[in-house]
Each structure stands twice: as structure tokens, then as C-alpha cells.
Amino acid sequence: MDVLSDAIAAMRTGLPHSSRTVRLAPWGVRYPSSDSAGFHVVLQGTAWLLPPDDAAPVRLAPGDVVLFAHGTGHGIADRPGTPLVDVLPAPDGSWPTRPDRGAVGTEEIVLLCGAYRLSRARAHPLLTELPPFVHVPARVGAHPRLRAAVDLLGAELAEPQPGSDAIVPALLDTLLLYLLRTWWLTERGDRSTGWSAALSDPAVAGALRALHGDPARAWTVEELGALGGLSRAAFARRFTALVGRPPLAYLTWWRMTTAGRLLRSDDLPLRAVAERSGYSSEFAFAKAFKREYGVAPGQYRKGA
């Protein structure tokens, strides 16, 4: 198991959605704030991203990818000064998919836009640490896997074929993971602190993989440190500094996050949820869960 995949799975609440849009200048749209994580990919032409809070506009060239991991409202237009029209989602949470054309005969742009439905109630710190928006510019020869995912998704949306209904959500998940991997491991400049450093540190990253791979195991700090060849004290200091929690405190947090996901999405009996969360006693699990969530596991499941 790997931390990045788990972080997304823990927050997902529904299938992602996307659209391929063709626009002719002048055009400008404003996306409202939402619980979803939104993205834009420029396939053809150029556009201007208009971040919130009067931040400086960002020019987007063909192949550029932008992710708003926190669902922050923003605008995108052919020029920074073009008036913006509000874009409202459909009742199911999806965005309009029809082509939206402006004045005939002017500059054309083709965009991929979409959103991932995520829960903010228990967001993984790997995602909460992201900036208001992530911009991965296109560069010749850079990030070939991310570019391949963009090309495949664009082709499926432009010309749907049998199986597209299953392929598109899978490609959207792939695009998100490649985008986050690209940002954390290559695009982010400062990798000396935080989760970027944690994922790049062999000892800490190895311990995180172990905790996520088997959260029910009764891990000790000594065992986790030994995986990276570190003493108990040295490992605990490094893990806490990079992750923001001591090793066993993070394990408890992840166990409860896993339990909440199982209660939301599965019909497992509480005893099985307790065992998968590292508790041999259903009573001890219920007590720990209520301390973390404020409600009993059964009540949480009914509410979800």
C-alpha cells in the first residue's frame, strides 16, 4: 500500500466527473467554491487563470495542468480583463458539458475541466498541505506519464467509445494521482520539511508504507525505526518533524480514518471493522471511535 493512494481513497465520496469544452474568444467563466477538488487542462490555445483574493493572473499554455485541491473558487478566461460568467453545477454535482462558444472566428481554446468529490471532514494532511492551487506547466519531455493520462482522457471525452463510462472515471483517478505525484516529488521546490520531505525520506516513507499496509498490526516505534535502519529516538524525532505527529499517534489517526471509511462504504459488522482497525475488543474500538468522532460507530454509520 502507498500513502498517496490511501489519502485519496480515504477522502473520496463519489465518482469524479469531467468535460471537454471548446470556447471561442472572448470568454470568461467563474467557478464557485465547493467541497470538490477541481482541475483544468489546456489542450489547445492559451488561457488565463484568475486566482482568488486578487492574486496575479497566471498564463496557461497548451499542456498546462492546474489543480484546486481545496475547492477554492476561481476564474478562467481568454484574457485577464474579460468579464466572467458564473458557472453553476448540475444537481448531480457535474459541470455543464456542452461546447460554449463566444464570437465566431476568433481564437479557439480547448479545455478539459473536472472535479473530484472529496470529504473535507477528515482530510489527509498530505492534501491539506497543498497550496491554494497547483500549476504544472508543460515542458518538452517532462512528466510523460502525466501527459499520457491527459491525452487518453482527452481522447475518451472527445470521441466516446464502448466502455468510456468505465474508462473515464479510472483515467480521472489516474490523472489526479499522477498530478499529485508530480507536484510532491518533482515540482515542489522546498522538500526539506512537511509531507514532501516525508515521502522523499527513505526511513519515514518506509514506515508510512508499513503503517498503511497493515494498520491493524501492533506496531512499535522500535520496529518502525528498524525498517529504515534508525534507532528508536532518531526515527521518532525525524518522523514527528516531517509528518507532524509522533509515529503511534499517526497510526491511531489513520486507524480511525480507515474505520470511518469502512463504516461509510461497507456493511461489515462492527467486530470486523474493529479488527481491521487494530482493536481486538469491539468495546475498546467503540470507545476510541467515539473519542475521535464524537459519536458511537453505529450512530456514525447511520448518519453516513
Q: DSSP of 141-158, one letter per residue?
A: TS-HHHHHHHHHHHHHHH
Per-residue pLDDT of the chain (304 residues; tens, 9 = 90+): 588 888 888 888 778 888 888 888 899 999 998 888 999 999 999 999 999 877 899 999 999 999 999 989 999 999 999 999 998 766 655 555 444 444 455 678 999 998 888 878 778 888 888 888 999 998 878 899 999 999 999 999 989 999 999 999 999 999 999 998 888 877 676 667 788 888 889 999 999 999 999 999 999 999 999 999 999 999 999 999 999 999 999 999 999 999 998 998 878 899 999 999 999 899 999 999 999 999 999 999 988 6
Catalogue all structural domains in the chain, each as residue range(s) with its CATH number.
3-138 (2.60.120.10), 197-303 (1.10.10.60)
| Whole-prediction pTM | 0.81
Angle between helices 164-182 and 144-158 in degrees, nearest 10? 150
